[in-house]
Amino acid sequence: MCGIIGILGNHEVSPQLVEALKRLEYRGYDSAGVATVDADGKLSRRRAVGKLVNLSDRLVHEPLAGHAGIGHTRWATHGAATEANAHPHKRGPVAVVHNGIIENFRELRDEVIALGMTPESETDTETVALLTAWHMSQGLGPVQAARETLARLHGAFALAFLFEGEGNLMIAARKGSPLAVGTGDGEMFIGSDAVALAPFTDRITYLEDGDHAVITRAGAEIFDAEGLPANREIQQIDVGATRIDKGGFRHFMAKEIAEQPVVLGDALNHYIKGDRIVLPDAIDFRDVDRLTLVGCGTAFYAGYVARYWFETLAGIPCDLDVASEFRYREPPLSPKSWAMFVSQSGETADTLAALHYARDKVAKTVGVVNVGTSAIARDADIALPTLAGIEVGVASSKAFTCQLAVLAVLALKAAHDRGRLDDAGLAAHLADLRAIPGLLNQALAVSDGCRKLAGWLSEAQDVLYLGRGSFYPVALEGALKLKELSYIHAEGYASGELKHGPIALIDRNVPVVVVAPRDALFEKTVSNMQEVMARHGQVLLISDVEGIEAGGDGVHASLAMPQGGGSFQPILYAVPMQYLAYHTAVAKGTDVDQPRNLAKSVTVE
Ligand code: F6R
């Protein structure tokens, strides 16, 4: 997590650094800082705890001159969110910003202490600055000193170094964590992603694992993990797609929820033409004996919903795991199987490592990713964009439903390839799927009902979410959304599992959100709901009109959803999950777009 930026420019650089950090704030917002080298070669920094706005305020009162600078927005790993722990870390003539974790920092810290240096922070990053400063004190130039330091680092990092007296030098390095180098006209940039650099350049080079770059205004010399000069392509990135605004909504999340009918429609139009699915030729499921679906958090729940589709529609046995477990479980994988990795950012460290684990063991790896330039998109055999557009709200909304849309298309392709659906069957299911954007539009109307229930939910200490079949992962997603946005403890359970333990939690203070359209499993869920109400649990039933008529007696409240969408209805039911969490968070006054302790791109384990 953490966002880093570096600029060798031709103007005062601190406003540009702050502008870029604004675009990186989704990666963490515990503190922010910048360092610059001014015309006299003086290296100075400003740092502030909390959101970026605190740093901007500070820069108004204590401006920082210089045409060369680095900046950082932090998601704390080592050490609390204090000014002393904020980046850039500056020791002697060196300032460093870092994204990742230096795993051997304790050993390095002991070494520099033994050399007579005193750390001033609790961070792993400061040891990088200390070690480099020590090498320079021994007579090495900045480039060599940085190289000596880099050779000692274990773990994952994207790093940028700036040096006193060196207004035309920046060193960048990556291992594990992403890093982009931007080429301007007589200016150079580095950033955690291309979006941060979009205001300055659309010419981007992605460093590969183990690379480091020696950057001056004339360009970047890139070296690989062996220290040999490396050629890395400069790509033209579509900066038009990187406009970021709230479009009149109060929060990015509200805008992103409301965008779903449009972006999901665009995603479906990309993959479906008439009665035909359009996917790369290599997507042919005929010989696939098993599927493994991997992701984290909301992306994992998208995979969870999709498992029901792949199994019931296409008859492919599916394994499902969270990436952080999968990567260390050493699961045996069939050479005829495919592994799919679902990720909005495409940079989630665990999901990326899971992909790397699987790639030489399975027949094909498929990345279902929103950020097309991301590591997962680059490293998977086939990358399928989810086309949700930039998602700024840290809690995922439109990225989730677009993941579901792409996974639904894949499941239908699999069902057709394997003869489980003939052309007519496929056309009927495609019609259901194509109906989803319109139904989503109708589903947005539950916002009002959710707002009215927000006061009730915001009083609760615990909330349970229940669902069956493909609505069980929707319940899990609902509970995750409520937790992360409103800080209320919430759990999702399979409806039938409640009586095996969790029912002990039920009393009149525990709201129970039941996600149950009137489908084949509806009656069973209604029975579970009755068991809750018999124990004075307060039920919110989310169903269609028929379901509410048939099962709504005695519930505390109900929300009516549009009917239709066939097997793909779980996509619709994501909307009340999002709005319940959103309005409850607004009622509680929490930070909707940047909930505490979270970051959007989780590039550490
Ligand atoms: C929750 C949320 C997270 C992410 C998870 C994976 O609202 O956004 O749970 O889904 O961190 O992130 P990506 O999809 O970027 O791999």
Pinpoint the alpha helices (H) of 62-218: 105-114, 125-137, 142-150, 194-197
Q: How far is the CA of 397 from the centre of ligand 1 (A)?
A: 10
The verdict on residue 575 lying in a domain is yes
CA-CA distance, 56 to 59, in Å (whole number)? Answer: 5
CATH code of the domain containing 218: 3.60.20.10
Reply yes or no on whether the pLDDT at 46 is more than 90: yes
Cis peptide before 88 (omega within 30 of 0): yes
Which among 326, 376, 396 is the best mutation to test ligand 1's pocket, defined by most ligand atoms within 8 Å of the CB? 396
The verdict on residue 429 lying in a domain is no
pLDDT digits (tens, 9 = 90+) for 340-396: 999 999 999 999 999 999 999 999 999 999 988 888 999 999 999 999 998 989 999
194/315 same-domain check: no
402: annotated active-site residue = no
370/350 same-domain check: yes
Reply yes or no on whether the pLDDT at 39 is more than 90: yes
pLDDT at 72: 97
Alpha-carbon distances, residue 54 vs 57, 83, 405, 415, 596 (angstroms): 5, 11, 39, 53, 16
- 239 pLDDT band, cuts 50/70/90, is low
Q: How far is the CA of 344 from the centre of ligand 1 (A)?
A: 7
Whether the Cβ atoms of residue 432 and residue 565 lie closer than 8 Å to each other: yes
pLDDT at 604: 73
pLDDT at 248: 83
296: annotated active-site residue = no
pLDDT digits (tens, 9 = 90+) for 109-145: 999 999 999 999 999 999 999 999 999 999 999 999 9
pLDDT at 243: 57
**131-142 per-residue burial string, b: 16 or more CB within 10 A, e: under 16:** bbbbbbeeebeb
pLDDT at 267: 97
Q: Is the CB of 370 under 6 A from ligand 1?
A: no
Upper half-sphere CA count for residue 448 (Cβ side, 13 Å)? 4
Q: Is the CB of 348 under 6 A from ligand 1?
A: yes
CA-CA distance, 145 to 134, in Å (whole number)? Answer: 8
Of 242, 260, 287, the last residue of a domain is 242
Q: How far is the CA of 296 from the centre of ligand 1 (A)?
A: 6
**169-185 per-residue burial string, b: 16 or more CB within 10 A, e: under 16:** bbbbbbbbbbbbbbbbe
The verdict on residue 504 lying in a domain is yes
Which among 371, 376, 480, 602 is the best mutation to test ligand 1's pocket, defined by most ligand atoms within 8 Å of the CB? 602
Cα dihedral angle (112, 114, 116, 122), rounded to 10 degrees? Answer: 50
Q: Is the CB of 574 under 6 A from ligand 1?
A: no
Q: Is the CB of 396 under 6 A from ligand 1?
A: yes
253/273 same-domain check: yes
CA-CA distance, 148 to 151, in Å (whole number)? Answer: 5
Q: Is the CB of 603 under 6 A from ligand 1?
A: no
The verdict on residue 433 lying in a domain is no
Q: Ligand 1, closest atom to CA 371? A: 15
Reply yes or no on whether the pLDDT at 557 is more than 60: yes
Q: Is the CB of 604 under 6 A from ligand 1?
A: no
> How high does pLDDT run on average in the chain?
94
265/378 same-domain check: yes
338/381 same-domain check: yes
* Percent of all residues in the chain with a pLDDT value above 70, rounded to a whole number: 99
Q: How far is the CA of 487 from the centre of ligand 1 (A)?
A: 17
Domain that holds residue 516: 445-591
Q: How far is the CA of 522 from the centre of ligand 1 (A)?
A: 30
Angle between helix axes 398-417 and 423-434 (nearest 10 degrees) is 170
Upper half-sphere CA count for residue 409 (Cβ side, 13 Å)? 27
55/188 same-domain check: yes
Upper half-sphere CA count for residue 364 (Cβ side, 13 Å)? 19
The verdict on residue 375 lying in a domain is yes
pLDDT digits (tens, 9 = 90+) for 7-28: 999 999 999 999 999 989 888 8
Residue 485 has which token pair? 């946005």
Choice among 2, 296, 318, 402 that is catalytic:
2
pLDDT at 280: 97
Q: Is the CB of 345 under 6 A from ligand 1?
A: yes
The verdict on residue 599 lying in a domain is no
Alpha-carbon distances, residue 207 vs 8, 191, 231, 560, 585 (angstroms): 18, 11, 10, 50, 39
255/158 same-domain check: no
Residue 469's region, left for phi above 0, alpha for psi from -120 to 50, else beta, is: left
Residue 250 has which token pair? 């109060």
Alpha-carbon distances, residue 80 vs 31, 49, 54, 189 (angstroms): 10, 10, 17, 29
The verdict on residue 601 lying in a domain is no
pLDDT at 599: 80
Upper half-sphere CA count for residue 294 (Cβ side, 13 Å)? 32
pLDDT digits (tens, 9 = 90+) for 78-91: 889 999 999 999 99
232/310 same-domain check: no
Which among 253, 296, 597 is the best mutation to test ligand 1's pocket, defined by most ligand atoms within 8 Å of the CB? 296
Structural domain count of the chain: 3
Of 212, 242, 272, the last residue of a domain is 242
334/460 same-domain check: no
What pTM was computed for the model? 0.83
pLDDT at 240: 55
The verdict on residue 434 lying in a domain is no
329/401 same-domain check: yes
Q: Residue 533 contacts by C-beta under 8 Å, 6 or more apart in sequence?
A: 539, 554, 555
Pick the range with the lowest mean pLDDT from 59-73, 290-304, 399-413, 494-508.
Answer: 494-508
CATH code of the domain containing 491: 3.40.50.10490
Q: What share of the chain is helix, strand, coil (3-state, %, to 5)?
A: 40, 25, 35
The DSSP-derived string for 399-435 is HHHHHHHHHHHHHHHHHHHTTSS-HHHHHHHHHHHHT
556/581 same-domain check: yes
Pinpoint the alpha helices (H) of 62-104: none
For ligand 1, atom 9: residue with the closest CA: 297
Of 224, 242, 260, the last residue of a domain is 242
CA-CA distance, 495 to 428, in Å (whole number)? Answer: 29
CA-CA distance, 422 to 434, in Å (whole number)? Answer: 18
Upper half-sphere CA count for residue 189 (Cβ side, 13 Å)? 29
pLDDT at 79: 87
Q: How far is the CA of 598 from the centre of ligand 1 (A)?
A: 10
Reply yes or no on whether the pLDDT at 461 is more than 70: yes
pLDDT at 480: 98
238/328 same-domain check: no
- 177 pLDDT band, cuts 50/70/90, is confident
Reply yes or no on whether the pLDDT at 150 is more than 70: yes
Residue 138 has which token pair? 């021994």
Pinpoint the alpha helices (H) of 313-348: 323-329
pLDDT digits (tens, 9 = 90+) for 466-484: 999 999 999 999 999 999 9
Reply yes or no on whether the pLDDT at 554 is more than 70: yes
Mean pLDDT within 560-580: 97
